[in-house]
Structure 1
C-alpha cells in the first residue's frame, strides 16, 4: 500500500514575511529552548560559571535543587521521594530580571520579557548554545522550540468586536464576540500547522480582559523542530532562523496591516 501523498504547503506558511521593524512591538515574552540528552555535567557549578563567563552580558547565578518523586499506582496511589540525589540546576538572570538563562541536565533555554529585536536575541542565543556545546558537550539535539507571546492592545478597542480592524479575518471570530456582548470574559482558540517536515507551529489566540477591564488580544506563536540529531550549534541556529520565519508568518497572518502600522 502506497503512503499518502504529501502535498507542498502553500499560502501564508510559505510566504516571505515583511520582517518590519516595530518601534513598539507587542511582545510580552520570547523563549527559545533546546532539548538534548541528559548530561549531568550541566549540574556542575564550575561549568555553569564558565557558561556565565562566556556571555557578554552581566548575569547573576542562582542554584536550584529538583528532587524526583516516585509514584506507585495500584489500589492505593502513593508518593515518595526518589532515592536518586536531588538534581542541581542553574539560572542566570540579568541584573534587571528581564533576561533569563536556564541550565538543566536535559535542556537549556533563553527567555526575555524585554524583546529588543531578533538580532539581539539571536546573538545572545548563539553565545549560549556555543557555551553549552563547549562546557556541557551534549551529543544529541532532540528538540528546538521558539515561542513568541504577543499581548496586543490598541486605544481604539473599546469592545471585543472592535478587534475586527486589527486581527485578521482568518483568526477573528466577530460573530462569537458580538453574540457574547457584555458577558464576555475570555475566549481562546488553538490552531496547529505543519510548515515542513519535522516542524510544527501552534497558534494560541484570543481575547482576555486585562487590568482595568482593558481588552487584550493574545497571539501566542509556538514553533518547534523535533527529531534527534547530532548537537551542532550552526545547525541549531539555522533551525532557530527557520522557526523565527514561521513565527513572523504567523504574526503577519494573524494581524492586519493597520495594526502593524500602529506598532511601527
Structure 2
C-alpha cells in the first residue's frame, strides 16, 4: 500500500489580499515549503513582504485563495491550534510591558496550556528557550529596560517556547550587532523547523536560505535557490537599481548603483 504523500508545511494557492475597500496589495501569490525548508523573502519597501507574513501567521485572511499549514486551511483551524503550529517574531516590539523577560518568554506556552498555571514541563521549555537565546542572566529583568537587540532575542525565545513547526520572522536581524545576526541565523537554520523570514540584507539572505522569494509590487518576481533568485536582472527589477553580483568568493557579494534615467 502506497503511503499518503506528506503535505507541505506551508502552501499558498492563488492568494490575493488588500485592505477592506482598497485595491489588492498581494496578487496571485502561490508557493509551498516542505518541512524543514528555509525561505527568505526579499523586496523593496512596499513590495508586500509584511502583508504576506501576516497571512502566514493568521493575522489577516486572504481576500481570495488559500493558506494551508500541514495540508489544512489555516482559517478552518481555531486560533490556539494554529498557534501550536506557527509562531511569529515581528518587528514591532512592545516596550511598556510591566513583565520580566521570563514572563514574556512564558507567554509562548499559552497555546499549549491545559490548566490554570504553567506545568513543570512548561517551565522547563521556557528555561531552555532562555538559555538557547543567551538570556538566562536577564530572566528577571523588566522587558522595557532592555536594549533593542536584547528585546529581539526575547521575542525569538518566546516563539521557540511556543514549540512551533513553522517559524515566521519579520526582519529578525534588525537591532542586532553582526555577531548576534550570524548567531541568530545559524540557530534558526539548526532548529529543523520550516522558517520564513523577511530580510533586507541580500548577503544574509543568500547565506541563510534554501530558497529566496523576491516580491515586487505584490507579485512574485522570483522563487528559487539564492544563486538563481538573486540575479543581477531580478535585483535590478525589484529594487530599481543597477546590481552587480560577485560570486568568486565563498559567499556572493552585492554592489548597487542608482539607475541612470
TM-score (norm 1): 0.27
The structure in which a higher percent of residues are strand is 1
The structure in which a higher percent of residues are helix is 2
TM-score (norm 2): 0.27
Instruction: Please say which structure displays the higher CA radius of gyration.
Output: 1
